């Protein structure tokens, strides 16, 4: 392990670890916040998954780790987990009062780096920094490996046909890109942006997927993708690691489908509620599963588009509008669930009223490779579905005006740029209001000491890395978030709400079935598979950069990074002395 993690804050690591806690239970949120603060972590709380995603997108490098409950009204915790993993590549810890093996397994499958059972003990929370650290180490290692490859290749001056990684001439270009990347940089001095990680925004990811599909999944390689994407500041390595994750994701989906088939543990009562206003996230994830199993759909995107007519509004965010409407009608014909059929009615309507983005990937007539690598012979994906594959998570650039419910949909996956606007109106967050008005009451009561203002989210102050225990400044922040519970919003979006909940990874509808050889990704150490390969963040050209790497990483050779703190003690600053680099 190389050294050079030095930074002013490294001595105090893991103090100041920036944790985002997401839980719909206000009591737990309150308790967890306290516990985490006791560990000298920097805590932000959130009641809803969507809020959490907004926060994460708004402040791309603002958090180090996310802790989320599995069951939430607006979005399945597992879905949130996937989003975070893909977009922000942060470690996510799941928690639940339910410790059923199947759930835990599901968490791991979706990429959770840990699964905690409630009630959660202090010692468990004290240890969460290890996940952050581990991930960083793996990333560094990956970068090093990449480095070695590059050096070797430039020495050999020969083609490497490993995944189309590097070609002699282009090597120079990618190096140039790296230099550009390095110079044009994020702010080294400011600890709040120390991560230098590439955040795969909706747009970016969409470009990525577009490129992948254009090239053909089996022929794809980071270099080719990068060239197609034509994003100046992105490096081949960024793309490579993202590609790895993408593949993993797909393979996980594949496995999930296989597992589901063999599991049989999914209860039917958890399936899509007849009452669209039912608001429990776990149900939506299971409904997803059911749909997968039921129709053997391998295409994630098509699954959701087909199965979850509920997701119509989500789809409303998608850039492909007219075709969707059509396809939707086609697909819903296949779906037997009456609820879906019903909601498909408004689907087309909601689409019609949406503006569309210009970039409508015109892949519909092409890409036989996409189908060739489908391992699922029983897939009923039709050609018309292809456009869906190109669709990004419904990240949309929809204008802030527009029907309220649509804005709400958008908020789920909105581009950070519009987040702040959407967040104003989008505080009518969950249709859970309709079914559980009581909960909003609870929550607003709990936040009694902060006035829930319209601008609460928008004016959310940037969490400073100001050390350890600035509880005082955090209280308002976290309670601002927790207090922005819609006050009795009366949403007429019961369907929409359930559709949001049904969003799964088909928020990445373009994730297609994976290749056989991708199963190789599934082996090996889970952590390194999922988290160890993202090398987006760092420009590895200059060894000096390591000095500027996130503040809280320090040279493990000199530091004792065991967590020796006795769980019965306070988590005092004093103990941080052990972490001095």
Partner 1 sequence: MVGTDLRQQLNNYIQSMRDQGILDNQFQSVQALKTEENPHFVLETVTGFCNDADNGIAQMTRYLEGPVVDFTNLTGLSHFLRGSSSSIGGIRMALACRDLRRASEANNKQGCIEGMARLKHEYNSLKEGLNNISQIERQMIGNAQRGRQ
Report the Cα 10 to chain-centroid distance in Å.
27
- Find the shortest distance in angstroms from Cβ 189 to partner 1: 32
The helix/strand count (H/E) of the chain reads as: 24, 5
Count of chain residues binding partner 1 (CB under 8 A) = 40
Strand partners, 20: 44, 66
Structure tokens given for 571? 């988590």
Instruction: Tell me the HSE value of 40 on the side-chain side, using a 13 A CA sphere.
Output: 19
Contact 532, 245 (CB under 8 A): no
Our finding on whether 439 is near partner 1 (CB under 8 A) is yes
Select 207 or 282, whichever has its Cβ closest to partner 1.
282
Report the residue from 435, 479, 510, 534 that binds partner 1 according to the rule CB under 8 A. Answer: 435
- Minimum distance from residue 123 beta carbon to partner 1 (Å): 11
Provide the token pair at 3: 């050294």
Closer CB to partner 1, 121 or 176, in the complex: 121
* Contacts for 172 with CB less than 8 Å, ≥ 6 apart: none
Stretch of 149-157, 262-270, 401-409, 535-543 lying at the interface with partner 1 (CB under 8 A): 262-270
Shortest CB 444 distance to partner 1, Å: 11
Angle between helices 222-229 and 202-215 (to 10 degrees): 120
The CB-of-264 to partner 1 minimum distance in angstroms stands at: 15
Asked if 556 and 578 count as a contact pair (C-beta separation under 8 A), the reply is: no
Q: Which is nearer to partner 1, 123 or 175 (CB)?
A: 123
What is the C-alpha to C-alpha distance for residues 252 and 271, in angstroms, rounded to an integer? 21
45: left (phi over 0), alpha (psi -120 to 50) or beta: beta
Binders of partner 1 in range 177-196 (CB under 8 A): none
Least distance between partner 1 and beta carbon 128 (Å): 17
Question: Binding partner 1 by CB under 8 A: which of 1, 3, 8, 98?
Answer: 98
Token pair for 354: 């949406």
Query: Which positions ≥6 away from 100 have C-beta within 8 Å?
Result: none
Contacting range for partner 1; rule: CB under 8 A; set: 212-220, 312-320, 341-349, 438-446: 438-446
Query: Mask of contacts with partner 1, 459-478, x by CB under 8 A?
Result: ------------x-------
Is residue 383 a contact partner of residue 304, using CB atoms and an 8 Å limit?
A: no
| Subset of 60-89 contacting partner 1 (CB under 8 A) | 69, 71, 73
Cβ nearer to partner 1, comparing 24 with 428? 24
Count of alpha carbons within 13 angstroms of residue 29, beta-carbon side = 25
> Between residue 4 and residue 63, which ones bind partner 1 under the rule CB under 8 A?
24-28, 30-31, 34-35, 38
Binding residues for partner 1 restricted to 267-306, rule: CB under 8 A: 267, 269-270, 273-275, 278-280, 282-283
The three-state secondary structure class of 21 is: strand
Residue number with CB closer to partner 1 (10 or 68): 68
Q: In the bound complex, what is the minimum distance in angstroms from residue 566's beta carbon to partner 1?
A: 13
What's the closest the beta carbon of residue 46 comes to partner 1, in angstroms?
16
Q: Are the C-beta atoms of 218 and 375 separated by less than 8 Å?
A: no
Query: Cβ of residue 568: shortest distance to partner 1, in angstroms?
Result: 9
List C-alpha distances in Å: 208 to 152, 392, 397, 408, 469: 27, 10, 18, 26, 40
Q: Which residues bind partner 1 (CB under 8 A)?
A: 24-28, 30-31, 34-35, 38, 69, 71, 73, 96-98, 118-119, 121-122, 267, 269-270, 273-275, 278-280, 282-283, 435-436, 438-439, 441-442, 445-446, 471
């Amino acid at each position: 392990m190389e050294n050079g993690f030095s930074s002013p804050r490294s001595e105090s690591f893991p103090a100041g670890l920036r944790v985002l806690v997401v839980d719909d239970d206000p009591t737990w949120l309150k308790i967890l916040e306290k516990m985490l603060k006791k560990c000298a972590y920097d805590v932000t709380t959130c009641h809803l998954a969507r809020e959490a995603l907004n926060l994460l997108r708004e402040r791309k490098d603002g958090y180090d780790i996310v802790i989320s409950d599995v069951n939430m009204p607006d979005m399945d915790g597992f879905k949130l987990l996937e989003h975070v993993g893909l977009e922000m590549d942060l470690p996510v810890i799941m928690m639940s009062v339910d410790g059923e093996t199947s759930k835990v397994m599901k968490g791991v499958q979706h990429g959770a780096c840990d699964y905690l059972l409630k009630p959660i003990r202090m010692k468990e929370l004290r240890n969460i920094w290890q996940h952050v650290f581990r991930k960083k180490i793996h990333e560094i290692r990956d970068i090093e490996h990449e480095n070695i490859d590059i050096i070797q290749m430039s020495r050999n001056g020969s083609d490497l046909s490993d995944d189309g990684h590097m070609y002699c001439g282009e090597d120079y270009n990618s190096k140039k890109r790296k230099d550009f990347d390095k110079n044009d940089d994020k702010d080294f001095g400011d600890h709040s942006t120390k991560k230098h990680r590439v955040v795969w925004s909706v747009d970016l990811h969409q470009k990525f997927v577009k490129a992948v599909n254009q090239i053909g999944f089996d022929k794809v390689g980071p270099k080719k993708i990068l060239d197609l994407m034509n994003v100046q500041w992105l490096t081949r390595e960024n793309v490579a690691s993202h590609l790895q994750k993408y593949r993993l994701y797909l393979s996980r989906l594949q496995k999930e489908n296989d597992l589901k088939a063999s599991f049989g543990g999914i209860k039917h009562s958890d399936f899509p509620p007849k009452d669209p206003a039912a608001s429990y996230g776990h149900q939506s994830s299971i409904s997803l599963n059911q749909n997968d199993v039921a129709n053997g759909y391998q295409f994630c995107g098509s699954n959701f588009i087909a199965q979850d007519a509920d997701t119509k509004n989500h789809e409303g965010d998608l850039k492909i509008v007219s075709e969707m409407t059509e396809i939707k009608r086609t697909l819903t014909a296949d779906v037997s669930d009456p609820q879906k059929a019903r909601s498909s009615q408004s689907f087309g309507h909601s689409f019609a009223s949406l503006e569309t983005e210009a970039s409508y990937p015109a892949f519909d007539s092409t890409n036989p490779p996409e189908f060739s690598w489908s391992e699922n012979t029983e897939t009923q994906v039709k050609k018309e579905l292809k456009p869906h594959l190109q669709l990004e998570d419904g990240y949309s650039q929809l204008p802030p005006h527009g029907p309220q419910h649509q804005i709400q949909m958008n908020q789920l996956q909105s581009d950070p740029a519009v987040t702040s606007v959407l967040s104003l109106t989008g505080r009518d967050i969950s249709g859970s209001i309709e079914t559980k008005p009581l909960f909003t009451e609870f929550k607003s009561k709990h936040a009694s000491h902060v006035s829930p203002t319209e601008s609460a989210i928008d004016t959310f102050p940037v969490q400073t890395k100001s050390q350890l225990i600035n509880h005082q400044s955090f209280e308002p922040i976290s309670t601002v978030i927790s207090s922005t519970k819609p006050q009795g919003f009366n949403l007429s979006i019961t369907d929409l709400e359930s559709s949001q909940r049904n969003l799964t990874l088909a928020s990445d509808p373009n994730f297609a079935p994976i290749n056989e050889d991708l199963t190789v990704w599934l082996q090996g150490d889970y952590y390194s598979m999922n988290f160890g390969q993202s090398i987006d963040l760092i420009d590895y050209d200059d060894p000096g950069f390591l000095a500027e790497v996130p503040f809280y990483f320090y040279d493990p050779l000199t530091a004792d990074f065991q967590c020796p703190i006795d769980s019965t003690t306070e988590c005092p600053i004093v103990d941080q002395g052990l972490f001095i680099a």
